Structure 1
Amino acid sequence: MKSIILTFTLLLVYLTSNAQKDFQGMAVYESKTSTADFKSRFEGNKEITPEMQKMIEERMKKMFEKTFILNFDKSASIYKEEEKLDAPGQQGGFRMMSSMMGGGGTYYKNVKDKSYTVDKEFMGKEFLVKDSLPKLNWKMESETRVIGGYNCFKATAVRPVSQSDFRNFRPKKEADKKDDTAKTEDKDKEKKTNFMDDFELPKEITITAWYTPEIPVSQGPESYWGLPGLILEVNDGKTVILCSKVVLNAKDKVDIKAPTNGKVVSQKEYDETVIKKMEEMRQMYDGQGGNRMQMRFGH
């Protein structure tokens, strides 16, 4: 009798471990960032024709509205933008800006060893960012809601912003803009303002997430993780990432592994590279005068 019980126990452990090992899921996310602040910067500009305005808005929509696929198992995941054919004229600067809006590359997260790897292309160079997953101090809230048929719970956290993510820029307060304008006029009365002079990068932002314990994996879109269930929605005030579809244990499995191409750097090193290059571009456009930055944005 004891041998039968022991055999049954070992069989149960074997089946359970294999079920966990084979478990895999796929989630589709729609990411949308508010463009109201950027649109207002172009409105009323006499140098921009209605045709240019329309083109700019179309480009902005493609940069700020994206679809991503998250493939995950119990310990790791890969998050990647849905592949689409680039339309003519959407290379170069447009691709660079698109990457700074959260697109491009494969984002690999391993929640077991708390690390991530993401390959990024910036100004023609390939980088492989490797670092520790950001630790978010989630506060569990009492609110609940249903997303895609799954019961979800609310959690909030405050996190420092990524300096290489253009979506984090916020419009300056009127008082700050007036103060900056006065300083600019004192320095050079004939110098026009740069497109980005109306925006600033906050030190931290508040994140609201909705997760479902019905899918018990500590995974989510982008760099989000650390909750007792799959994160189905994330909102940072400007960007909303919402899950539109979940498929569990499909017949076709996906190879969940980290990307390997690019120069290996830390997140801090990558951010410093982006900031340095953006400042060089800013100085170049300032040197050429005027609103070249915002005109460039539309091309």
Structure 2
Amino acid sequence: MNYRDLLVARGKYGKAPPEPFIAGSDMAGTVLKVGRDVTRFREGAAVLNAPFKHWPAGKINGDWMQSLIGGAGVNGILAERVCFPADALVPMPSHFSFHEGATLPIAGLTAWAGVMTHGQVKAGERVLLHGTGGVSIFAAQIARIAGAQVIMTTSSEEKAEVVKERFGVSETFDYRDESWPKQVRAYTDGRGVDLVVDVAGGQTFTQSLKACALNARISLIGILDGYESVLNPFDIIGRQIQIRGIYMESAQELAALAGACEIAQLKPCIDRVFSLDHTLEAFEYLESQQHIGKIVIEMTS
């Protein structure tokens, strides 16, 4: 499950979907049948879905944007059987369970895009993340694999200890303390961070700018802290900060992420698994923001 799924359910993610509407964005499953011209997959293959039915590679275009699964009027994946174009599917890493595979297409791919595809992180750089949701935890794992140092903001001392112990986060700061950007700069010897993966938006985005080093990059992903930011443009100009909006990525990039997971033996962090008939409870738990990592819904026979 993703925060975006919650916004879609509330009718706050673009145009409200038609009713009835099947929710959900990402899944892992087994191929039951293939079309006559499909050669990439065979029946029985374990696969993941890309976030869009039509975004095979390269830059997204306006038509492809309307094929967003679980949004833009395209039915989602909370169903026993779904139909996908072959080029919107990717083989699941062989060491993944289906629960783990289902976490990759949105949160994992968004983190990959923010850290690697567009963030272009390098070994030795410092990466700032916000919160302990699925995207931030994946981003921490990916950044660490790339050799970067990870810094994170969280309001929970318990979560701070978990991310340090389990995911190699170097230091955490309490985002409720408005001086946290100064604390980040002090921790980095006055330099600031090289990359921010910002899932919060709002005034957290404004604060993120103040924590940046010269020539830093920001991958702007979410709006957990709201849709509006009041900022000083010179924070961007003076530090020569590059800002990139991240809207998931292509099937090609999902395949690259799956390959990286295979090589590095990365394992997704799953907080809780709910059965399909407890989907409402899963949404409520997602909204509570108590989780670390991902919330998964499983099909029950």
TM-score by length of 1: 0.22
TM-score by length of 2: 0.21
